[in-house]
Amino acid sequence: MSHAIVKESHDKMDKSVVAFQDEMAGIRTGRATTALLDVVEVEAYGQKMHINQLGTINVPDNNLITIDLWDKSQLAIVEKAILNSPLGLTPSNDGTVIRIPIPALSEDRRRELVKVAGKHQEDAKIAIRNVRRHAMDEIKKLQKDGEIPEDDAHRLTDEIQKETDRHVARVDELFAAKEADIMEV
């Protein structure tokens, strides 16, 4: 029972870190990357799909993304989805391939993106701490109800705190890497 609390907490904290990684992938830097388009969903064939399910995404250089769709009839739909996305990119298509130029970011825009990333970082840390708080409450309840001895409760509390510290450190690491990526000119 008590190990289940630690395992469940660990799993939930891992999910918070993965969600944070996904958020970071969606924040654009000054360089082209296929992950940039992960946040764009396209209404195709009667369902929402990611662009990589409709064609091949390539990055021929740091300032350009190309999309070669398997079904050319989807070109306009994909182009419109990219235009309407929060990425602020302007795609163009020549009837066979969609080209998305990635403009260089201004200093102000870079700072703004770092703030956005920082907000996501804080949200991820809050989510991790909420998992910790829930686990600690559960341990206290089990101890109060006499289901686990005080020594075990203490040990579990320490384990939960170590997991929390490890996950928060991972979020900080990911943020630092993203910040360096955004600020790199």
Report d(CA 181, CA 46) in Å as an integer: 37
> What pLDDT, on a 0 to 100 scale, did the predictor assign at position 129?
97
What dotted CATH number matches 2-25+106-183?
1.10.132.20
State the pTM of this model.
0.71
Query: What backbone torsions phi and psi does residue 149 show, to the nearest 5 degrees?
Result: -70, 165
Contact between residue 1 and residue 8 where contact means Cβ atoms under 8 Å apart? no
Task: State which amino acid sits at residue 68.
Answer: D
Each of the 185 residues of the chain gets a pLDDT tens digit; together they read 567 889 999 999 999 999 999 888 877 777 778 888 888 889 988 999 999 899 999 999 888 999 999 999 999 999 999 988 877 788 999 989 999 998 878 888 888 889 989 999 999 999 999 999 999 999 999 999 989 999 999 999 999 999 999 999 999 999 999 999 888 86
Domain limits of the chain? 2-25+106-183, 34-101
What is the dihedral angle through the alpha carbons of 125, 34, 112, 185, rounded to the nearest 10 degrees? 120
Of 3.30.70.270, 3.30.1360.40, 3.65.10.10, 1.10.1370.40, which CATH number belongs to 34-101?
3.30.1360.40
Q: Is 6 exposed, middle or buried (0-12, 13-18, 19+ CB in 10 A)?
A: middle
